[in-house]
Amino acid sequence: MKFCPKCGTVLFPKGDCFECSCGYQKKITKESLSEYEVSEKVAPKENVIVTGDDIKTLPTTKALCPKCGNREAFWWLQQTRRADESETRFLRCTKCGQTWREYD
C-alpha cells in the first residue's frame, strides 16, 4: 500500500497515475507496480481506510435539498455539543453534494 507524501492518505490508481484526494499524482510505471502487493483478501485484523467524497456508503433518507430541490440525501449523526445533549444530524444531497444540518 502506498501513501501520499503530502497528506498521508492512501493513494488509489486512477488511469495511468496513483492519485490522492489532496491533488498529488504519481505516474504508474512497472517499477512502481513492483513496490505494491495487490491482494483481494483483507486479513481480519487489517484496517482499510477509504477517503474521498466519491465513495457513497452512507445511508440515505428522504429530505429536500435547500440548494437544488433533490429529495434524497445521505445522513450521519455526530456529537457536536456536550455529551448530555442530542447529536447533530448532518445531511448531504445525493445529487449536488450540498451539506446541511438538523438539530433535535
List residues forming the annotated binding site: 4, 7, 20, 22, 65, 68, 93, 96
C-alpha cell at 98: 450540498
Quick check: helix, strand or coil at residue 33?
helix
Report the phi/psi class of residue 96: left, alpha or beta, with left for phi > 0 and alpha for psi in -120 to 50: alpha
Query: Which member of 85, 87, 102, 104 is catalytic?
Result: 85
Q: Is 85 a catalytic residue?
A: yes
| Binding site feature residues for Zn(2+) | 4, 7, 20, 22, 65, 68, 93, 96
Catalytic residue (choose from 31, 35, 53, 84): 84
Sign of dihedral through CA atoms 75, 97, 79, 22?
Answer: positive
- Which single residue is written with the C-alpha cell 434524497? 72
Tell me the three state secondary structure of residue 32.
helix
Active site residues per annotation: 84-85
